[in-house]
């Protein structure tokens, strides 16, 4: 399966479909991979039908502007490579080696310039989408890319990684239309006119003669798809906390090697990962190879600070 650090692909006769999931991935966990694979699975039949190339990439940042520090980029990249080696996912290093702060608006401008004819999609959680007006030129992201937004009602921490929330649709009296209206109302008002009803509409170009806020002529107007699919509530911050608490005392007690069958290559429906059948959350959410790398390099543990 493909797994490249910088996916500079030659232009195919037809425009490609490129989707990006950004975050610190500190560490990468199965919640990240499940979301990216969910997007991949939904885009793949469309790409095949339209005879277009499909690239779904993880886009690690240099250091989140919302965090004081983060793990060395070389370690985060190594863990990403281990986690995706048996998957069709790519890794894009566009932001990784830049000196922070690195802003999303700069990245989408670069990607739009690099792939002017492709369908570009940024994947994010609703917690990020609702705060776009506080990002640097965040309301201008749709001048360059489409947004695929997943809901995440319960914020367990301030981690900006796009993770998944699970039990928010248990109220059967909450209709689909009410849910969609509720999700739509959470976006900044200036972005609400760009909301569409299906993923397919993200792949339909909308040429317009626009001059964006930077004074740059731009022929692209992106759309926003709000996906009501439930996604699991886990964060890299919580994983780090558990690693810090557990690894110095009894690393073998985690029994994570018994979860070797949880390779991302065996794609499961996104809702199937909700049931907590693993003996502990680390075994459930960390790829075994990633866990072994963390142990070998003494990451996220008291040993890291000795």
Closest CA to 279 of 298, 305, 253: 253
CB atoms under 10 Å from CB of 283, counted, come to: 18
224: which DSSP letter?
A: E
Closest CA to 76 of 68, 88, 84, 86: 84
Closest CA to 25 of 68, 66, 62, 65: 62
Per-residue pLDDT of the chain in tens (306 residues, 90 and over written 9): 556 545 554 445 689 999 999 999 999 998 899 999 999 999 999 999 999 999 999 999 987 555 666 789 999 999 999 999 999 999 999 999 998 888 999 999 999 999 999 999 999 988 889 999 999 999 999 999 999 999 864 433 333 333 333 333 334 445 667 767 778 888 999 999 999 999 999 998 654 434 444 444 455 689 999 998 877 667 788 888 878 776 554 444 444 444 333 333 333 333 333 344 444 566 678 899 998 999 899 898 755 544
Q: Provide long-range contacts, Cβ within 8 A and 24+ apart, for 104-107.
A: 104/22, 104/135, 104/136, 104/138, 104/141, 105/135, 105/136, 105/137, 105/138, 105/140, 105/141, 105/144, 107/22, 107/59
3-state secondary structure of 279: coil
Burial status of residue 103 (CB atoms within 10 A of its CB: 0-12, 13-18, 19 or more): middle
pLDDT in tens, 90-139: 999 999 999 888 899 999 999 999 999 999 999 998 888 999 999 999 99
Contacts of 286 (CB under 8 A, 6+ apart): 27, 29, 30, 239, 256, 294
99: which DSSP letter?
A: P
Compute the C-alpha angle 97/95/300, nearest 5°: 70
Positive or negative, the CA dihedral 61, 262, 260, 1 is negative
Q: Are the CB atoms for 145 and 109 separated by under 8 Å? A: no
Distances (CA, A) of 261 to 10, 28, 85, 275, 283: 35, 18, 14, 16, 11
- Phi, psi at 305, each rounded to 5°: -110, 10
In this prediction, residue 255 carries a pLDDT of 45
Q: How far is CA 295 from the centre of its chain?
A: 25
Alpha carbons 23 and 193: distance in angstroms, whole number: 26
Alpha carbons 132 and 65: distance in angstroms, whole number: 14
The pairing of strands 17-23 and 119-125 is: parallel
Alpha carbons 147 and 195: distance in angstroms, whole number: 9
pLDDT in tens, 49-67: 999 999 999 999 987 555 6
In this prediction, residue 238 carries a pLDDT of 82
Distances (CA, A) of 146 to 16, 143, 203: 14, 8, 8
In this prediction, residue 256 carries a pLDDT of 41
CB atoms under 10 Å from CB of 126, counted, come to: 20
């Amino acid at each position: 399966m493909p797994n490249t650090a910088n996916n500079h692909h030659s232009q195919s006769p037809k425009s490609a479909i490129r989707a990006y999931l950004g975050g610190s991935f500190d560490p990468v966990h199965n919640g990240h991979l499940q979301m990216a694979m969910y997007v991949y699975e939904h885009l793949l039949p469309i790409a095949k039908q339209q005879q277009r190339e499909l690239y779904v990439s993880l886009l690690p940042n240099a250091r989140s502007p919302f965090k004081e520090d983060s793990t060395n980029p070389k370690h985060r990249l190594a863990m990403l490579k281990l986690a995706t080696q048996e998957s069709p996912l790519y890794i894009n290093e566009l932001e990784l080696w830049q000196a922070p702060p690195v802003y999303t608006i700069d990245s989408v401008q670069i990607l739009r310039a690099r792939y002017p004819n492709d369908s570009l999609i940024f994947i994010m959680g609703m917690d990020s989408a609702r705060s776009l007006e506080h990002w640097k030129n965040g309301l201008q992201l749709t001048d360059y890319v489409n947004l695929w937004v997943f809901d995440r009602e319960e914020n367990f921490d301030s981690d900006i990684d796009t993770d998944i929330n699970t039990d928010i649709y248990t109220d059967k009296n909450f209709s689909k239309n009410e849910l969609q209206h509720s999700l739509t109302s959470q976006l900044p008002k200036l972005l609400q006119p760009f909301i569409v009803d299906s993923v397919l509409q993200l792949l339909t170009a909308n040429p317009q003669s626009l001059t964006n806020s930077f004074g740059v002529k731009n022929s692209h107007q992106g759309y926003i798809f709000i996906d009501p699919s439930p996604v699991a509530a886990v964060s890299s911050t919580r994983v780090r906390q558990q690693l810090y608490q557990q690894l110095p005392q009894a690393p073998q007690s985690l029994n994570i090697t018994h979860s070797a069958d949880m390779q991302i290559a065996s794609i499961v429906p996104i809702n199937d990962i909700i049931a907590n059948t693993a003996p502990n959350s680390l075994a459930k959410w960390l790829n075994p190879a990633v866990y072994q790398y963390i142990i070998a390099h003494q990451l996220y543990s008291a040993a890291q600070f000795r």
